[in-house]
């Protein structure tokens, strides 16, 4: 099954790349600055976080001496959470939004989650590159531990695509799933230490918060980018296991319900 899916994806790689390119271009069509907005918008985001939180509000993290510490902490959490949120929220409607395409054109339906992830990664790559430039300019780049972000990002993408695939399939048959998730992800954000330090959470609640798979992932980004330390690898075991389980479940549901989805749509 896995081999057949990979072959189908490879055979339709042109369709996938073309879809990603068209969606990126369509976002800035009929604008005077065109694709420049792909840089200007995230640049404004990074500058706002930096100016407001490091200069105006003088926010500080416990034990941090750099005036940019909280800005880096916030960007590390918000930018990577944004990638997770974009993949999952778009993934849960990917089959619904492409219902007409699924009915009229024969192509591997597994291409849709790949297109969703690829589009999200393009947007993330632009904004995160600007963030890296900010780190370099301000002398806050952490050096070698930065490589520790690669496996953390890989686990997050697996978790995101697995959850998106499960939600996307269920949402075809039970439309309340999408409505519920749109509400749930708002609570999920605030139950993850994105904008506040994990240390301020009462000690009795901290073990429970670690069951949130995004908590150790976000903490890993912040540990690398703020403290200049490698991720705490054992902490990532739970998100990795959950990500693999969701991917397996999503593929099983997809294989079993792919044809029924077209009829339902």
pLDDT band at 29 (very low <50, low <70, confident <90, very high): low
pLDDT in tens, 194-231: 988 888 888 898 899 999 999 999 999 999 999 999 99
Average pLDDT, the chain: 84
Which structural domain range is residue 54 located in? 2-264
pLDDT band at 111 (very low <50, low <70, confident <90, very high): confident
Total domain count, the chain: 1
pTM for this prediction: 0.88
- 20 close to 122: Cβ distance less than 8 angstroms: yes
Q: Where residue 87 falls among pLDDT bands split at 50, 70, 90?
A: very high
The predicted pLDDT at position 30 comes to: 61
């Amino acid at each position: 099954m896995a081999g057949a899916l990979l072959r189908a994806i490879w055979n339709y790689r042109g369709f996938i790349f073309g879809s990603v390119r068209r969606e990126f271009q369509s976002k800035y069509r009929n604008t005077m600055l065109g694709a420049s907005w792909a840089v200007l918008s995230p640049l404004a985001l990074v500058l706002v976080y930096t100016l407001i939180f490091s200069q105006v509000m003088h926010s500080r993290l416990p034990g941090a001496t750099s005036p940019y510490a909280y800005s880096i902490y916030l960007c590390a959490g918000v930018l990577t959470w944004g990638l997770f949120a974009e993949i999952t929220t778009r993934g849960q409607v990917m089959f619904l939004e492409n219902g007409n395409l699924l009915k009229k054109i024969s192509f591997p339906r597994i291409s849709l989650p790949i297109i969703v992830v690829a589009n999200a990664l393009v947007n993330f790559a632009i904004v995160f590159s600007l963030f890296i430039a900010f780190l370099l300019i301000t002398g806050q780049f952490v050096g070698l531990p930065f490589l520790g972000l690669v496996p953390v990002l890989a686990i997050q993408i697996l978790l995101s695509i697995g959850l998106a695939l499960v939600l996307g399939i269920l949402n075809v048959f039970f439309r309340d799933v999408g409505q519920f998730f749109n509400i749930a992800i708002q609570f999920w954000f605030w139950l993850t230490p994105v904008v506040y330090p994990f240390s301020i959470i009462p000690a009795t609640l901290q073990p429970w918060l670690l069951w949130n798979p995004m908590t150790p992932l976000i903490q890993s980004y912040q540990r690398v980018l703020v403290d200049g330390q490698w991720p705490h690898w054992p902490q990532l075991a739970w998100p990795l296991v959950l990500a693999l389980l969701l991917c397996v479940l999503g593929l099983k549901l997809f294989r079993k319900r792919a044809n029924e989805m077209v009829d339902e749509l």
